[in-house]
Chains A and B, each alone.
Chain A
Amino acid sequence: MAADLLSQAPRRRRGPSDRRTELLLGALAVGVLALIALLLVTVLAKAWPSFAHNGYVKWFLPGGDVDTQLTGIENARQGAGEALYHLRAWPLLWATFLTTGFAVLFGLVLSTLAAIFMVEFAPSAMRRVLEPVVRLLAGVPSVIYGLIGVLAIAPWVGEHLISEQRKESVAGVVQLTGANLAVAVLILTVMITPIMVAISASALASVPSAWTEGSAALGVNRWRTVWRVSLRTARPAIIAGAVLATGRALGEAIMLSMVAGGRSFAPNLRDGVTVLFEPARPMAATLLAYIDGISDPYLAHALYAIGAVLLVSCAFLSLAAWAAKQPLKRYGIRA
């Protein structure tokens, strides 16, 4: 608005300080943009040999134990040919898919209900308590979640929930410990719920009050109003929150490396309930686990390839979240 006014006003020479400031700040903006572009380009360039040698599709397929392959890359010396790059990263992708998928699913349910509670049903005292609670859960560092998981939750699960028959049923293939898929999904859900609660609550509260009041005037009870009117309106925000939470869950390395089990194993859904107790190490955690070997140039290609997959996924998810929020502008809802 002010800019329009300025352009309509009689032409005045824009002062030298304006031009200087604009150039300076513009250069800064270009610098930041260049940095991000550099990030994308260098990670992708460093990752390319791994994809090229394995085949762009074959890299993602199952084909053996990822740990063996990664150490094989590290130990192979010059002239070893294909062994320098051989990687089939399906167990990592599957583990990421399982942990992130279940965490976002459970988190979505929990956070939507909690957001509705905060906006609609909570007495004012509880609302005053819930806001700091959500802020607290969002602010706890991931290493503390991991510490509680590995020192308190995982040993308890290992002692009390994993029976010896269960261990025998998979003996020889994998060992069941307290650091497993179930604990990882549980803690990851707790970590990503606050994001979704914040965004959903913000959007639910910004639904035009005329609509909710109109619904109440028609005799619809509060729950139905929320379910049919507010949630529908805030749906883009909830989706955007879920997408952002997925991005967060994808990138979680520290907590998952502490509680998800020490093997890059692809949990086998055909094992039934036992699958909950199998170890699984998602991509970001695997990256962290092998980071000490990054001086080895061939292992570096493999690790950066894993990083490139993560980067592309997260970039894609960020853009998707932005796109998901566009419909909200129609209603002027801030989220």
Chain B
Amino acid sequence: MASTPQPLLPPLRPSRTRTREGAGPRDSLSAWPLIDRVGYALCWAAGLTLCAIAGAIVLFMLVKGISYLRPSLLVRSPSAAPSQSASGGFLDPIEGTLIITAIGICIAAPVGVALSAWLAEFHRPAWLARAVESAIEMIAGVPSVLLAIFGLLVFAPHFLAFLSQTSAGDVVYGKSFLIAGIMMSVLALPLVVGATREGLAQIPGHVREASYALGKTRATTLRRVLLPSIRTNIASGVTLGIGRIIGDTAIVVILAGGTLQLTGVGRAPILSTLRGTGSSLTSYVYYNSPVGEGHAPQKAYAAAFLLLMVVLALNTVVMLLSSERSLNPIAWMFTGATGRRSRRAGEPGV
């Protein structure tokens, strides 16, 4: 009787090579045919290779980052100067990352939760629900560079000029933090939707039934009972979305204007920065690598190290939020709103 959801990976059972007292002959490796032993060795090799690669990446970035990252870099703005020592730090790219992430997740989180609530609780008409599910699966697979060139197209008409600025030739410039943030929210949407759907599907049916029995409408049940109870799921979905946004480069390079410093449009206090152009940590690393200007590989390493630390911190947060769910968050990342209608918790398990 599966009234509680089964954990993803089986609980860490004791290793099968250790036997209890009085148990029968054990499955000893030396009794296996050669080809099976080769398979076993290959599996170990694969696991160790992955660990080695991850360790190498972290160590390499650690070494390079610690040697090049100075606290002063974090608080000085970048300036265009021919020599590296005078070209300032990366305060503006850090601010740019924060701005874009904030805009992106502020759009993606409510829209994602609302969308998955609609998919889980209402899903009428059925063709629309299926279409929306497929659409979200599709977005999960769209490369960010395509979203960026779509952004160039869609923000060109004049009625959207308030999002960036207009040039002298009366052409909408079409590149700003707001625009980059909006396209970033499309990136984060499938993650939030997936996480919320996962959470909603795991709420046992009797909770909803009890609420309806008390005379509450579906809307109220959603707002007061269901969504508050899956707060951790929503939080981990949002954190995954933030991680995806922070790590993306193509949208920033193409849509955020590529200026070193945050240059605003007009004089309104916050809106001018949002409508203005700038860069983020990822585009800063890109421009300072040999592919961009290439003048400052040390600064690129320092910024990349900072970026990696932020991503690691976010990963830890996700891990803490979803304690027994193990690897499933990664599966969400790439499967979007996979339907879990085949197995609602509360139904007898297969």
Task: Please give the residue numbers on chain A whose beta carbons come within 8 Å of chain B beta carbons, in ascending order.
Answer: 1-2, 5-6, 9, 14-15, 17-18, 20-22, 25-26, 28-30, 32-33, 35-36, 38-39, 42-43, 46, 110-111, 113-114, 116-124, 126-127, 129-144, 146-148, 150-152, 190, 193-195, 197-199, 201-202, 205-206, 208-209, 216, 221-224, 227, 240-241, 244, 247-248, 250-254, 257-258, 284, 287-288, 291, 294, 303-304, 307, 310-311, 314-315, 317-319, 321-322, 325, 329, 331-332, 334-335
Contacts and interface: CB of A to CB of B under 8 A. Distances in A.
Contacts of A321: 137, 141, 335
B247 A28 contact: no
Given A14-B217, A250-B143, A43 B149 contact: yes
A72 B147 CA distance: 26
Interface string B125-147: 00011011011111111111111
A133 B51 contact: yes
Given A126-B47, A146-B289, A247-B141, A202 B40 contact: no
A291 B153 CA distance: 13
Contacts of A46: 153
Interface in B239-276: 243, 246-250, 253-254
A136 B327 CA distance: 11
Contact of A29 (B10, B118, B205, B218): B118
A78 B332 CA distance: 49
B310 to A, nearest CB: 10
17 contacts: A126-B47, A130-B50, A132-B319, A136-B54, A138-B333, A139-B312, A140-B311, A143-B247, A193-B50, A198-B327, A216-B27, A221-B32, A222-B27, A244-B334, A254-B249, A258-B289, A291-B149
Nearest to B341: A329
B314 interface: yes
Given A202-B8, A318-B140, A142 B247 contact: yes
A139 B212 contact: no
A141 B149 contact: no
Interface size class of B (residues with CB under 8 A): 35 or more
A331 B43 CA distance: 26
A195 B146 contact: no
B66 interface: no
A148 B285 contact: no
Contacts of B145: 251, 253-254, 284, 287-288, 307, 310
Contacts of B147: 39
A227 B38 CA distance: 13
Contacts of A17: 217, 219-220
Contacts of B212: 2, 5-6, 9
Contacts of A198: 327-328, 330-331, 333-334
B265 to A, nearest CB: 20
Interface stretch (B56-64, B79-87, B158-166, B227-235): B56-64
Would you call the interface of chain A mostly helix, strand, loop, or mixed? helix
A146 B304 CA distance: 11
A199 B335 contact: yes
A307 B146 CA distance: 6
Contact of A127 (B12, B49, B334): B12
Nearest to B7: A205
A110 B53 CA distance: 12
A121 B40 contact: yes
A133 B349 CA distance: 31
A287 B209 contact: no
B307 interface: yes
A127 B42 CA distance: 16
B243 A139 contact: yes
Interface of B: 6, 8-10, 12, 15-16, 27, 31-32, 36-37, 39-40, 42-47, 49-51, 53-54, 57-58, 60-61, 111, 114-115, 117-119, 122, 124, 128-129, 131-132, 134-147, 149-150, 152-154, 186, 189, 205, 208-209, 212, 217-220, 222, 243, 246-250, 253-254, 282, 285-286, 289-291, 297, 300-301, 304, 307-308, 311-312, 314-315, 318-319, 326-331, 333-336, 338, 340, 342-344, 346-347, 349-350
Contacts of B115: 25, 28-29, 32
B328 to A, nearest CB: 6
B311 to A, nearest CB: 5
A43 B146 contact: yes
A205 B122 contact: no
Contacts of A194: 330
Point out which of A119, A121, A135 has the most chain B C-beta atoms below 10 A from its C-beta.
A135
A322 B140 CA distance: 12
Contacts of B297: 151
Nearest to B111: A28
B327 A1 contact: no
